[in-house]
Structures are given as C-alpha cells and as structure tokens.
Amino acid sequence: MEAAFKAINDATRREILQFLIQGPQNAGQIAKQFAMTKPSISHHLDLLKQAQLIDAVKKGQFIHYSLNKKGFESIHQWFQGFAQHFEFPKPKIRL
C-alpha cells in the first residue's frame, strides 16, 4: 500500500497509467510519449511495478507493460474507509 501511494505521487507515473488504459505497451512505446530519457521511464516503470499497479511480461527482446488490478485495489480499499463518511457521486445504476 505504501508503494502504491508513493507510485501515484508523480505526474509522469500517473500519465503512464493513463496511457496504459489503451492497452499493453512496451517500454519503448511508453517512453516515446514523454519528453524524458528511457532510463528515467524505466525507473518509473519499476516503481509502478513494485506497487503492483502494472505488470511486466517479457516477449523476446521487448517487455510488455499492462495495468495490474492489485495495486489499484489497495488504494481503493484505503479510500473506502473514508467513502463511508462522505457521499461520492454514484452511477445511477449498478451494472
């Protein structure tokens, strides 16, 4: 949980997560999105992986990164503790 809060406390890492909503991408494709060197992106990916916000799967010479539910769940769980004290906008229907 500690790792998840740390991971999302950075604009670049949050943008990487946003980018991965589109679907899995390799490190090079991710790095291309940012005005930053590949080693820097590599480091951000490492922190996101530690937080279990993303998964990494090696496919030959490439590494495919994708969103990982686990890290999001740990944040969600923390958040739920407060959601009971506030009312947050809810969808009209439950799917």
Partner DNA sequence: AAATTAATTAGACATTCGCCTAATTATTTA
Partner DNA sequence: TAAATAATTAGGCGAATGTCTAATTAATTT
> Who's near 29: CB < 8 A, 6+ residues apart?
none
Least distance between DNA and beta carbon 40 (Å): 4
In angstroms, the CA 87 to CA 84 distance is 7
Per rule CB under 7 A, is residue 10 in the interface with DNA?
yes
Q: Which of residues 34-53 bind DNA (CB under 7 A)?
A: 35-47
Q: Which amino acid is at 29?
A: Q
Contact residues: its own copies, CB under 8 A: 2, 5-6, 8-9, 11, 14, 17-18, 21, 67, 69, 72-73, 75-76, 78-79, 81-83, 85-86, 88, 90, 94
